[in-house]
Amino acid sequence: MPVAPRSIKILSTKQICGPILPWSRSTLWRRIRAGDFPPPIKLSPGRIGFSEQEILEWIEARSKSRTPAGSQDAGTETRRGRM
């Protein structure tokens, strides 16, 4: 039985930075180089895009791994390393 084709949506950096994530383009590329964001797909010699599905999965994985608000122990350090 043939499988129905799946719609794949490709996003540009402009469609990601701002509308989806509150990042600048520099932050997006820094995260990609660090391996902390899905890499782009090369569409042609001068054009890249990002899989919307991969980005949504990345966001979902991050939201599942976060700790609920107020669940930190009183003796733990804050984000900047100070109490």
How confident is the model at residue 50, as a pLDDT?
98
For residue 23, being part of any structural domain is answered with yes
Domain that holds residue 34: 10-63
pLDDT < 50 regions, the chain: 74-75, 77, 83
For residue 38, being part of any structural domain is answered with yes
How confident is the model at residue 3, as a pLDDT?
63
Cα within 13 Å of Cα(36), Cβ side: 7
Is 0.75 topped by the overall pTM? no
Burial class of residue 50 in the structure, from the number of CB atoms within 10 Å of its CB (0-12 exposed, 13-18 middle, 19+ buried) = buried
Number of domains in the chain: 1
How confident is the model at residue 67, as a pLDDT?
74
How confident is the model at residue 51, as a pLDDT?
97
SS3 breakdown of the chain: % helix, strand, coil, rounded to 5?
35, 15, 50
For residue 79, being part of any structural domain is answered with no
For residue 4, being part of any structural domain is answered with no
How confident is the model at residue 44, as a pLDDT?
96
For residue 76, being part of any structural domain is answered with no
